[in-house]
Amino acid sequence: MKRFAQLVVAMLLVAVVLLAAAPFTAQGTRLLLGLVPASSPVQLDYHSGSLLGELRLRSLRLELEALTVEINDWHSQLRPACLWQSEFCIEQLRLAAVAVVLVDADTEENEELSEAGADKMLSLPFGLRAPSIQVGQLQLQWPGGRWQQGRCSWHWPPPVPLCGWKSCISPGQS
């Protein structure tokens, strides 16, 4: 009986170690991303790499009630050391195309979000740093309007925390 208990503990320990190591490997990343259910508002098409390192996605789609974001050819380099500080530090983020579509949804909730402002709409439980972002093509579409931008990039000499759209569209950035 004692030998059986030791075997069970050893198997549990191996399972925990494998699960903890999964984000560091391509196979583990593919497995973890495959666990995202088809009914989720986030849809991912994995290409290569690992979550906690260099990652490539063919596409990423976020579909919410009043917003759809579609990103093609995601290429990022995450620095895992920042996770100890409750931050995601993306050393480099390259996106071939980003399309954002705002849907005209006349609901009380959307009116409340509009009045709250951008800082209140995006609230993340962790910090996010991205000193270099490159986008091949950016498209924004909203009821009654559309904006398109060719190649654009944002670079901050010291990594600047992103806190929402205000940081991304601040004056003086190219």
| pLDDT of amino acid 79 | 85
Length of the chain counted residue by residue: 174
Residue 168 has pLDDT above 50, yes or no: no
pLDDT in tens, 135-151: 999 999 999 899 998 99
**Sign of the Cα pseudo-torsion (142, 88, 26, 54, in order):** positive
What 8-state DSSP symbol labels residue 172?
T
Structure-token match 């973890």, residue found = 32
Band of residue 173 on the pLDDT scale cut at 50, 70, 90: very low
pLDDT in tens, 152-166: 888 776 545 554 444
CA distance 12 to 4: 12
CA distance 126 to 124: 5
pLDDT in tens, 85-129: 888 888 889 999 999 999 876 655 556 555 555 454 556 677 888
Band of residue 167 on the pLDDT scale cut at 50, 70, 90: very low
Residue 29 has pLDDT above 70, yes or no: yes
Alpha-carbon torsion angle 60, 64, 68, 74, nearest 10: -20
What 8-state DSSP symbol labels residue 64?
-
| pLDDT of amino acid 98 | 94
Q: Please indicate whether residue 27 or residue 121 has the higher confidence score (pLDDT).
A: 27
Residue 54 has pLDDT above 60, yes or no: yes
Number of other CB atoms surrounding residue 46 within 10 Å: 20
As a whole number, the mean pLDDT across the chain is 76
